Every structure is written in C-alpha cells, then in structure tokens.
Amino acid sequence: MPDSAVVDLGLQGKVALVTGASKGIGLGIAQALAAEGARVTLVSRKREGLEEAAKTIDGDTLVHPANAGEPDQAEDAVRATIEHFGSLDVLVNNAAANPYMGRAIEIDLPRYDKTHQVNLRGPLVWTQAAWNQWMKEHGGNVINIASIGGLTFGGAIGIYDNTKAALMHLTGHLAVELAPSVRVNAIAPGLVKTDFARALWEPAEEAVAKGTPLKRLGVPEDIAKAAVFLAGDASSWMTGQTLVVDGGAVLI
C-alpha cells in the first residue's frame, strides 16, 4: 500500500454516543471518532464538564447530561441522540465507577451495589436502549470499555475488576444474541493516565511503567485508536472479542 494511501474507516457521517465522555478515555474516544467524521453525543453526569469537553472536539456534537447507572436517563439520552442526529450507529459504554479500594472481602454492600450498577448493569441498560430504539431495525455497533483487571486477580480494586470480567463475558453473550446486524466488542485497557485511575499510577508512575514490556503507561489516545478500529469497517468481521491494550502488562 502506498505511503500516501488513506484508509477509509467508514465513520463519516455516522452517529456515536459515548458515556463517561467529559474527560479521560471517554473524551479521547469521542475526539477520535469525531476526527474520523462521526457525529457524537457526549454523555456524563455534569453539563458543565460536557460543554467544556465539547469545545475540544472539531465536529458535530450533542451534550446530554445523564447518570450512566439510571435506566430512564439512558433511554432519554438515546432518544435525544436519535431525535437530534437521526440515527445511532455506535454506542460506547465507557462510564465506570470505583467507589471502593481495599480487600474485596471487606466491601460494604452499598458500594458493591454502586459498582455493579454503573459498570455492569449500566452497559446492559444502555445497550438495551440503543437496541430497542434504533439498532434492532437498523443495525449498529457496541463497544464496551472493560479492563485488564478483569483478566487478573488480587490488588486493591477487586470488586471493580469483577465487574469488568463480567462485562467481557456479557460482551460475548450480546454479540451472539444481537448478530448479525449488531456487532458487540470490548476493549480491556491497562493502566491509563487518567484522573479516574490516578490513585493507581500517580504514587509510583515510573516504577509501574518500567514493570510493563513497553515501559510506559497508557494515555487516552491509545484506547481511542482501538475504539476507532472497532467502530469502523476495518473490524467488520469481528464480534464478541476483547482487545487488550495494555503495553503488554498482562504478559508478565
């Protein structure tokens, strides 16, 4: 292929909805999809953060405040997206919560329930809304943001990791159920330098980075590139898969 060749990912004019899109990985994904020509709905809890995020995107955007763990708010956000843009082609379930760090055996049930409400029930609820309101008749693409924590054991965020393992399993189930018109895949990031994960990387960033084969932590753009691949035509024969993007961390 000539160096000057341009790969058409098939995202021009498509409509994407990204949850947890005001910063971090979600914003990186929204920016990357817009850069490929997609029109994007940004969803997060606070309008102010969403409006600031939208200013960083060169493209057609809609901001819609919503709590990812509340089914009625998911329904409203999907409806608003379809009314504004006329379709919903790509759903990115990125929003997550981690209200507890510590031994899994010692977690209190309210924080356990909150983690599952946002991280596991949430993606199902948003996918149901997208399916029922648009994708059942028109097809589409769902991308779930999981974590390499769902592939390992131990550490201080075991309940969070448990929800991400379940999310990868749910991804496969939905891929079978919604095929062939809807593809469902997941991304399992390693440790990415975001505010959300700050407690995991900031105290010993250099040491943690040296412990991975590629000797650096991730940045939102690393995950965004994988999301663009899964959202576009380049991955048209992929469904039910989890892409691990972690600098090789799970290898050692």
The DSSP secondary structure of the chain, one letter per residue, reads --TT-----S-TT-EEEEES-SSHHHHHHHHHHHHTT-EEEEEES-HHHHHHHHTT--S-EEEEE--TT-HHHHHHHHHHHHHHHS---EEEE--------B-GGG--HHHHHHHHIIIIIHHHHHHHHHIIIIIHHH-EEEEEE--GGGG---SSBHHHHHHHHHHHHHHHHHHHHHTTTEEEEEEEE--B-SSTTHHHHGGGHHHHHHTSTT-S-B-HHHHHHHHHHHHSGGGTT--S-EEEESTTGGG-
Report the alpha-carbon distance of residue 75 to residue 202 in Å, rounded: 36
Segment 170-185 mean pLDDT: 98
48-87, pLDDT tens digit by residue? 999 999 999 989 999 999 999 999 999 999 999 999 999 9
15-30, pLDDT tens digit by residue? 999 999 999 999 999 9
Segment 184-209 mean pLDDT: 80
Find the catalytic residue in 85, 131, 160, 201.
160
User: Residue 203: is its pLDDT beyond 90?
Assistant: no
- Amino acid 206: pLDDT: 82
Residue 223 vs residue 203, higher pLDDT: 223
The whole-angstrom distance between residue 192's C-alpha and the CA centroid of its chain comes to 13
101-160, pLDDT tens digit by residue? 999 999 999 999 999 999 999 999 999 999 999 999 999 999 999 999 999 999 899 999
Single out the residue of 120, 124, 121 nearest to residue 132, CA to CA.
124
The percentage of the chain sitting over the pLDDT mark of 90, rounded to a whole number, equals 85
The percentage of the chain sitting over the pLDDT mark of 70, rounded to a whole number, equals 94
- Amino acid 199: pLDDT: 66
User: Residue 92: is its pLDDT beyond 60?
Assistant: yes
- Amino acid 145: pLDDT: 98
User: Residue 1: is its pLDDT beyond 50?
Assistant: no
Mean pLDDT of the chain: 94
CATH topology of domain 15-246: Rossmann fold (3.40.50)
Segment 204-224 mean pLDDT: 89
Residue 160 appears among annotated catalytic residues: yes
